Amino acid sequence: MEYALVITNGHIATPDGVIDADLAIQDEKIAAIGHNLAAHSDQVLDAKGQMVLPGMVDSHVHINEPGRSDWEDYHTGSQALAAGGTTTMLVMPLNALPARTTEKEFKRQAKIAENKSYVDYGLYGGLVPGNVDEIQKMADAGAMGFKTFMATTGSDIPGDFKNVDDYQLFRGMQAIAQTGLPILVHAENAAITDGLAAEKIAAGKTDIKDYVDSRPPFVEFEAVRRAIYFAKQTNVRLHFVHLSTPESVAEVTKAREAGLQVTCETCPHYLILDRDQFEKIGPLAKCSPALRDPAIVKGLWKKLFNGEIDTIGSDHSPAPMSMKRSQTNNIFDIWGGISGCQNNVDLFYDEAVTKRGLPITEFVKVTAQRPAELFGLANKGRLQVGYDADITLLDLNQSYTIKADDLYYKNKISAYEGFKVNDRVTTTLLRGHVIYRLDHGFIDKPSGHLLTKKFSGVLQR
All residues at 6 or more sequence positions from 110 whose CB lies less than 8 Å from its CB, including other chains? 123, 141, 142, 450
CB 8 within 8 A of CB 411: no
Please give the single-letter amino acid code of residue 18.
Answer: V
60 is in an annotated binding site: yes
Select 126 or 448, whichever has its Cβ closest to Zn ion.
126
242 is in an annotated binding site: yes
Half-sphere exposure of 423 (CA within 13 A, CB side): 26
CB 452 within 8 A of CB 373: no
Longest dimension (CA), the chain: 73
Tell me how far, at minimum, the Cβ of 359 lies from Zn ion, in Å: 28
Select 169 or 184, whichever has its Cβ closest to Zn ion.
184
Backbone angles phi, psi at 144, to 5 degrees: -90, -10
147 is in an annotated binding site: yes
Strand locations in 232-373 (E):
237-240, 262-266, 311-312
Select 3 or 146, whichever has its Cβ closest to Zn ion.
146
Tell me how far, at minimum, the Cβ of 61 lies from Zn ion, in Å: 8
62 is in an annotated binding site: yes
Residue number with the shortest CB distance to Zn ion? 315
Q: Taking Cα atoms as reference points, which of 213, 240, 242, 211 lies closest to residue 224? A: 240
Select 105 or 315, whichever has its Cβ closest to Zn ion.
315
Tell me how far, at minimum, the Cβ of 150 lies from Zn ion, in Å: 13
CB 103 within 8 A of CB 141: yes
CB 132 within 8 A of CB 164: no
Tell me how far, at minimum, the Cβ of 184 lies from Zn ion, in Å: 9
Q: Taking Cα atoms as reference points, which of 411, 419, 409, 289 lies closest to residue 351? A: 419
Question: CA 184 → CA 201, 307, 371, distances in Å?
Answer: 30, 20, 13
Binding-site ranges for Zn ion (CB under 5 A): 315
Select 348 or 387, whichever has its Cβ closest to Zn ion.
348
Tell me how far, at minimum, the Cβ of 319 lies from Zn ion, in Å: 12
Select 251 or 315, whichever has its Cβ closest to Zn ion.
315
Tell me how far, at minimum, the Cβ of 315 lies from Zn ion, in Å: 4
Going by the annotation, the residues of the binding site for Zn(2+) are: 60, 62, 147, 186, 242, 315
Going by the annotation, the residues of the binding site are: 60, 62, 147, 186, 242, 315
